[in-house]
Amino acid sequence: MIVKIKRDANQENVNQLLAHLKELGFDVHSSFGETYQVYGVVGDTAGFDIRSLYAFQCVDSVIRIQEPFKKVNRKIKNEDTIIDVNGIKIGGKEIVVMAGPCSVESYEQVDIIAKAVKESGAKILRGGAYKPRTSPYSYQGMGLEGLKILHDIGKKYDMPVVSELMDKDHIPQFLKYIDVIQIGARNMQNFALLKELGKLDKPILLKRGFSNTIEEWLMSAEYIMAGGNDKVILCERGIRTFEPYTRNTLDISTVPIVKKVSHLPVIIDPSHAAGKWDLVQSLSLASIAAGADGLIIEVHHQPEKAFSDGAQSLKPKKFDALMKNATAVATAVNKTL
């Protein structure tokens, strides 16, 4: 990191700062300009709160050079991480599409949707059994029963299943019935939960919080990896902006940025980004063109009657059309689907 000293700084205070940095184990290199003194501070600053230096009156500004994340950093591991979900590889040459309803509603509902999305080429079946709803009066999900339905239908169509976990007490249920544990936008910074996930040997689909920076998102992935679980798939699902045309704004730039700074796979959820079914195809194609490793898309055979997120759910026919166009874009960027 680089520390710039105020012009009128008291030298006694500067000396205290330098002693403090050395005590912390950092090497300090000075550089004196005509008007400012600047110090280059060398050492492992990953766990260091650089803002703490502003407590010294002499400090004008502090700039971090080293990223605060380590295990997710491409500088630590240069080759792309490929996560194997029952033989399906996420992060390689193949674009993996996960699809299914927002909520598991019944065995028949999931059966109809799973059959359709499988036929169109989806590899992983999604479905929420524990739903994080803004209102306590909205549909909260089927719970354990929903996980069992997802599991049974996943077996029927030979599809691994992904579902959202909200409570650490449910981990045993997820270990038994679910192949990929989804952590939703609202729990991205539930650090107690992230620590528990670090202890598991299970792929985690970590969604970006709608008000979180890319660095905060990567730090959440770091929590899981620091605990010992390196099977993390990042998922961009749109962020809050001032734009009301969409439910969220899909931050497509996350794809090349994450690819540059991290080795982890990154997928896109165009459904929660758009909030409207008629935008889902465009965002999906753009995501593949940008280099995403996969998509997670909400599909419902009767979106008008869906218990949640019907407005953004594609009917199977529309999903099938999307998959055909997605295959063409995948080929154009030298990937398969």
Choice between 107 and 139, CB closer to Mn ion = 139
User: Site size for ligand PEP, by CB under 6 A?
Assistant: 11
Choice between 173 and 308, CB closer to Mn ion = 308
Choice between 132 and 310, CB closer to ligand PEP = 132
Contacts of 120 (CB under 8 A, 6+ apart): 99, 316, 319, 320, 323
Interface residue with ligand PEP, options 184, 203, 265, 303 (CB under 6 A): 184
Structure tokens at 326: 């997605």
- CA triplet 185, 279, 240: central angle to 5 degrees? 35
Q: How far is the CB of 123 from Mn ion (least distance, A)?
A: 19
For the segment 273-312, give every residue that binds ligand PEP (CB under 6 A). Answer: none
For the segment 186-205, give every residue that binds ligand PEP (CB under 6 A). Answer: 186
Q: Residue 3: beta bridge partners?
A: 39, 62
> Would you give the binding string for ligand PEP spanning residues 122-161, x where CB under 6 A is met?
------x---x-----------------------------
Give the distance from CA 255 to its chain's centroid. Answer: 11
Choice between 88 and 296, CB closer to Mn ion = 296
For the segment 101-120, give every residue that binds Mn ion (CB under 5 A). Answer: 102
Interface residue with Mn ion, options 296, 309, 323, 335 (CB under 5 A): 309
Q: How far is the CB of 248 from Mn ion (least distance, A)?
A: 12
Does residue number 206 form part of the binding site for ligand PEP (CB under 6 A)? no
Choice between 72 and 102, CB closer to Mn ion = 102
Interface residue with ligand PEP, options 118, 231, 263, 272 (CB under 6 A): 272
The site for ligand PEP (CB under 6 A) is made up of 102, 128, 132, 164, 184-186, 207, 237, 269, 272
Binding residues vs Mn ion (CB under 5 A): 102, 309
